[in-house]
Amino acid sequence: MAGKSFPSEIDDPVVSVALKHFKASVDAWSEAAYSRPRFGEMKSMAVAQHNWRLAASWALGCLLIAGSFAGGFYEHRQRQQAARAAEIKATEQKVRLAAEQRVAPMPAATNIATKRQPTGLKRAANTDEDLLATVDNDVSRQVPAAMEPLAQMMDGNGSN
């Protein structure tokens, strides 16, 4: 009916205007029905939206994992650098100690053999005897050394 005019038998202007409005509304409805997305198109739009969310979640997950690895590698590198710095410092101290030992005069071999060794043996013997005497004294005490001033204040019979 598009493009055809109404039959000339309808001469009533009110009916003619009503039919023209009806025709315009049917044309508008059919145009809207043809232009709206079909069920398959709506499904593809939903799938496309779902795919976008899936891709975004995968991307964010990969970023999170990559950031975790990067942080771990950074921490590992910092620890390696700290260990290297400590090693360099220890090496410098060893070198400094070796330089100080080279500068200090070394005693003669005769002095070490004749004087120091017997003195060291005497000191060891004296320290052993002194240690045994100290242990014997501590064991034979009735009151610990810290309590002696209080024990002197007490009478021999225990009253005061």
Assign residue 159 a region: left if phi > 0, alpha if psi is -120 to 50, beta otherwise? Answer: beta
The model's pLDDT over 65-122, given as tens digits with 9 standing for 90+, comes to 999 999 999 999 999 999 999 999 999 999 988 888 887 655 554 444 444 445 555 5
Instruction: Tell me the CA distances in angstroms from 152 to 107, 124, 131, 143, 156, one per residue in order.
Output: 52, 35, 26, 10, 9
Name the more confident of 106 and 47: 47
Q: Return the pLDDT at 69.
A: 95
User: What is the C-alpha to C-alpha distance for residues 51 and 104, in angstroms, rounded to an integer?
Assistant: 79
Q: Return the pLDDT at 110.
A: 47
Name the more confident of 4 and 100: 100
Q: Return the pLDDT at 111.
A: 47
Percent of the chain with pLDDT over 90: 33
User: What is the C-alpha to C-alpha distance for residues 12 and 33, in angstroms, rounded to an integer?
Assistant: 32
pTM of the predicted model over 0.85: no
pLDDT of 160 higher than 70: no
Name the more confident of 91 and 144: 91
